[in-house]
Every structure is written in structure tokens, then in C-alpha cells.
Chains A and B, each alone.
Chain A
Amino acid sequence: MKHVKTLTFAAGVSALLAAPAMAFQDEGTVRLGSTEPLTGPGAVYGQPTIIGKKIAIEEINAAGGIMIDGKKVKLDLFSEDDQAKPDQGVSIFRKLESSDDVLAITGTIYSRVSETMWGLLQKKLDDPNDTGLQVPAMSFLSMKAGVASISPWAFRNAGVECDQHEQLIDLVQEANGGAEFQSVVAALESNEAHSAAAWRVCYQGSLKKRNWDTKEYVEWFEQDTDFSVQVRRIRRAKPDLFILSSHYQANVGAMLEMARQGVTPKYMISHIGADAVEMIDLGGKAVEGVVFPSTAFFADPGVKSLLDEYSKRTGEWYMPAFTYLAYEGMYLMKHVFETAGIKNQPDTLAEDRRKVRDALASLKDWPNPMGLKLTMGATGDISRPYVYVTIKDGTFKLWWHPTKGYMNP
């Protein structure tokens, strides 16, 4: 037994020593970094994300891998856990960049962590005075407005949040027969960064553009349990359009109180914080009718195999859109690695990283796994078509689809 242990140890040591020489193309792998919150409170988002990444990588490698420089190599994910903490994200980012020598770094879910990590990156391309890190970085969520503009090396595939809200407000007005809303009421989860930014940057802009005033505006905190005061104010305003800039925990509490007080706005819209199975689990009937934007509807035929695999691994019947975004992100990386003309050698790492960045920045009409064509925008955000989802009869249903129009009004 001891003998075996020694052997394993020796093998480990020699593998370690041999690693630099055998790495990359000759080793038959291409290295990709990943950081997500895998433990701690952020794990509820991080785990569905890493599962999406892993399913894609397993599919890619099972199909032979990635064609680089005329040879198929396997995608090797260097996965780290940032626990949704900015400082931890920063040290992971440095480690992935300098000691793991990954070609690109994917992650993370939380805007405030991505923002901090990406603060390490070069601000201006080809600026010799800028000593920032030069490694392509891509998050599959980080919805806060403007995060990808931090650096030319930073990208996102989740779309542009303000575009979603802008389109959704147009759609509800169209559904309302084009008539003006008599009473617009908004609620903000004021101590949560993403919700606060969505309210200030997106919703307020959309309201201003239309010269709409909110008849009532209330705030609550993410961890609140009593919403009676806010909902009374909402009730007095008799809203026909109710805007939620808040995540599911608070949404559910507020909407249950709305049901208790008999408040039934004609239209209720939310940001992607409502994209969680907990809305239905916790809110039941009270959350029915809310509409929110999504990048991938979980029951779309294009993501069926992903949903099945996800359900098998988690026991969940519902898959949030960001699992799909992570899955799509891995295929996007594969596409970029295959088309950027990289060599995948230790000594070509710097130029390879630059090639990957350039390929990401110039991405045009790439057909994603759902068959939609994606193009990278100037801010580092992929512009993409959105679907709008509602909750009805105890499940999520499409409310509006780019090609099918209104579905469950």
C-alpha cells in the first residue's frame, strides 16, 4: 500500500515538473479559466452556471475536442470558487492569468465581482503605459449596466439589460392596445447592486424617454419579510403597470402581500431577478402574471438536451437562463479558439490571448446552439434577441417571442 502511495506521489511530482514542457498543444489540451461562486450564498447562481459550463465541455470533448492548428485538443477547464467575494475574485483572476496560463478567463456571475476583477485588465488596447493584464475575459451574466466597457478585454454574452426593459415596456404598451398607462408604480430592492443599477440606468431612462411619471414609488430591502407598508401605498395608487426592480426573494414576499391586500395591476414586469424557480415554489398563485426578459426559454426545443441533462444533475424541472448562457459561452469559446488562428504553445500565449480577444471583439453572425445569430457590440456586449416569459398555471410560459409574437397575454 505504502509502495503504491509512493509511486503515485512520484508520478505526481514528475507530472508537476514535466508540466511546463508538456503543456498546451503538445499535452493535447487548451486551457480555459473559470471563476464562479461555488460555495457561500452566491452558489445558488454559481452552481447552475458551472453545471452549464461542464455539460458543454463534456459534449465538446466527447465529440473530439477543439480543432487548433490542425490538431484536435481537449478543452481543459481550470475552475475556481470566488464565493461572490470581490477580493477573492481578484486573487483568482491573477492566479488564472499568471500561474495557470489560461487562454481566457470565464466568469463570474456577480457584477460587483466581475467589475473588480476586470479592473485589473488593460484599459486601452496597445497602450505601452498601461500595465493592466492582457487576457480575454468573459462573463455569462454580470447584468449591471456598463460592466463590459471597463476594458477592451472584457466581454459579456447576456445581452444589454436596458435593451430588454426598453423592449418589454414597448411590448406591454402594445399589449395594452397602445393606450397610455394611467398609473405606473415602481418598486426597487434598494440595497442590491444589480436592482439599483437597473432602476437608475434602465427603467428611469425608459420612463423619462416616454415622459412618464411614476404615480407611486416604493423601496424595500433584499432580506425584508414584511411588505405591508409598501403594498398599502401600491394599493392606494391603483397601478395598471407595476415595475419590479427586485429579485425573487423580495418579489415573492411583496407579491404575497399584494395578493393579501387584493392588489392586481394589469401588467407586472420584472428584471431577470424573477427568472428563478423559487418564484413559483415560494409565491404560488401570487406571482402569476409577472413578465420578465430572458435570453433562453427553458422549454425551447433548442435547449432540450441541455435541460434534460441539467434536470438529471440537479433534480430541478426548471433551468434558469444563465445556465444556458454559460453553456452557450463554452461553444462560443470553442468557435473563437478554432477561428482565431492560435498556436496554443507556451511561448505563443501572449499573442494567442490577443488573437482570441480580437476574434471575440469582431464576432459576427455566429450561430449559437439555439440557432440564433450573435454579433459582438462595441461595448463588449453581445446584442441578441430576447424572449419574454410569464408565470401562468404554476409554470413558466413564453409571453412574447421574436418570431411568434404574443403567446400568453
Chain B
Amino acid sequence: MQFDEFFFIDLIQTGIDGAMLGSVYALMAIGFALIWGLLGILNLAHGQTVAFGMFAGLVSAGHLKLPIPISFACAVVTGVLVALLVERICYRPIRRAHELVPMIATLGFWITTEEILQKIYFHMYFKDFMPFPNPFTMTRFTFGEFVIRFDYVVTMSVAVVLVAALYFVIYRSRLGMALRMVAAGHDIAHLMGVNVLKTLRSAFMIAGAFGGAAGYLLGYVANMANPYAGSMATVKGLFTMILGGAGSIPGAIVGGIVLGFTELESAYLFSFAYRDAIAMGLLFLLLVFRPQGLFGTRVEDKI
């Protein structure tokens, strides 16, 4: 940091960029929050919906040259399919076991599918970093001293629309009613006539849709697709979820923006090398004073 005539301009600009970056983190964290909130399971395989969504975007937009909205839809659908697979393999057959068992299963799914995806990239392209189509990568809006990347605006808008759709589903639909009842407790949901298993499958599908969308947008803003995006998404997504409050959806959204903001501002104000350490330290401090995270309350207040 240098305290010069650009200090405040750069401080604000960094904050804007951080919040924009954070909207992708928020999308990644929502999937974790949904599954944690409904099942109390750390779904470590969720990052793979991001990685496969990114891959679907790469194949459909980069390879098949499909229009952006269609390839975005391909990414979302792929995320949903991967999430269904996770539900089928890592949750449904072993759901009555100790909660650690499904978590270990999702860990296995993560590692295995990351290796498979890496081999697919290698087989198809002979490399693991591929250009992700983004025709607007150089487009930007200038407001006086401030600059906003067009692709970040797109990302943020898509995130806002998806979150609005999620809220509509939760508070205005029959599925949302079922989800809220399942979040209150599986027994009570059963007694209210909710098909809990089917509702959970829908929750996995919603989480997968968010993961697939996040994967597409991540590739889009970075101009790059790679098979390791899932690991990054899992780390950042879990971090975001805990910051926001385990299982809380508003927490995942605000947590993502806070994380993006903190990462970039601490890089700007303090140190590049210790950026993650600083963000982690802040999280630790927050959790000391607010163990439930920013938005976490009691267990039932999950969604």
C-alpha cells in the first residue's frame, strides 16, 4: 500500500472488484449451505458440480460454438446431473449411517471425479488449462476514475437473478414449503406429509444448478477452464459458508461478498502473499466473537 493521491480511488475500486468477485463465491457457497442446512452433511463433492459445469460450458461454448445462453444452460444442467449422481451415490444408499459416512463418500467422489475430469481434459485437449470463451473480456464501463468490467456486471446480474429465483422458490412455492419443513426437521416434515427423500433430491438439484452456474461464470470471468476448479470451489465455498453461518442462504450470499471484498482489500492494504492468511485470520476472529457466523442462528433457521 502507498498512501498517495490514488489511495482512496484504488481503495474503492478494489472494494468494487472484490464485491463482484465475491458474487461468484456466493453462488458456490449456496450449494454447500443448502445441503448443510437440510441434511447437516458437509457435501465435499459439491465443488465438482462447479468443475463439471465449467467443463460443460467449455465444450458447448468453446467447442460446439453454441450461443452463450444455451451453453450456460448446458452448464447448469450438467451441475444438476452431477449433483443427482452425488445424491445417488454418496447420500441415498448410506443416509442412515453416521453423518461422517456420507461426508467421507463425498470426499471420495471429489477426488475420483477430479482425476477423471483431468484425464478427460488431457484426452480431449492434451492440456489442462483451456481458453473459456468470453467475447466481452475487454469490455468495460468507465465512471470517472472508476472502471467496472462488463463480464463482472454480467456475473453479478446472473447471481442476483438466480438468488431471486431461489428465494421465490423457497417462499412462494410448494417445493419451497417442503424444503423449509425438511430444514425444520426430517421427522416433522414426514408427519406433515412431505416426501423427504424427494425433497432432498430437489435440494441436491438446486445446489447442482447453482454449482453449474458458478462453474460457467468462474470460467467466464477468468477466461480459463481447468479440471481443478472443483477443489478451489470447495475450499472457497466452505470458507464462505462458515463465514456467513453454516447452512444460512443469506449468510452464503453476504459471506461471498465479504470474502471477495476482504481478499482483495487485504491484498491491497496489507500484503499479497498473506492475503489468504489475513482473510482466514479475520474469519477466525469473527468466529471467536460470533461462532454461528454472520447470519447463522439456531439450527432450525437454516433456510
Contact = CB atoms under 8 A, between A and B. Distances in A.
Interface of A: 39-41, 43-44, 47, 190, 218-221, 223, 225-226, 228-230, 232, 236, 248-249, 252-253, 256, 259-261, 277-278, 281-282, 284, 314-316
Please provide the 9 A-B residue pairs with the shortest distance between their CB atoms, ordered closest to farther: A219-B272, A225-B222, A228-B17, A282-B131, A229-B268, A190-B273, A229-B267, A219-B273, A281-B131
B186 interface: no
A79 B130 CA distance: 28
Contacts of B2: 236
Contacts of A226: 17, 21, 221, 264
B127 A277 contact: yes
12 contacts: A39-B118, A41-B228, A223-B232, A226-B21, A228-B14, A229-B14, A230-B267, A248-B129, A252-B223, A281-B130, A282-B223, A316-B126
A91 to B, nearest CB: 20
Contacts of A260: 137-138, 140, 147, 149
Contacts of A39: 115, 118-119
A281 B131 CA distance: 6
A229 B6 contact: no
Would you call the interface of chain B mostly helix, strand, loop, or mixed? mixed
B203 to A, nearest CB: 28
A252 B224 contact: yes
Contact of B272 (A40, A220, A261, A277): A220
B264 A228 contact: yes
Contacts of B171: none
Contacts of A223: 228, 232
Given A219-B273, A225-B218, A249-B129, A256 B223 contact: yes
B149 A232 contact: no
Nearest to B121: A44
A253 B119 contact: no
Nearest to B218: A225
A43 B267 contact: no
Contacts of B119: 39
Interface string B193-226: 0000000000000000000000000100111101
B300 interface: no
A230 B267 CA distance: 8
Contacts of B149: 260
A256 B139 CA distance: 12
Given A41-B128, A44-B122, A44-B128, A232 B13 contact: yes
Interface in B88-137: 115, 118-119, 122, 126-131, 137
Given A41-B118, A260-B149, A281-B131, A47 B126 contact: yes
A282 B129 contact: yes
B23 to A, nearest CB: 12
Contacts of B264: 226, 228-229
A26 to B, nearest CB: 39
B137 A44 contact: no
Interface string B1-37: 0100010001001100100010000000000000000
Contacts of A256: 137, 223
A28 to B, nearest CB: 34
B224 A47 contact: no
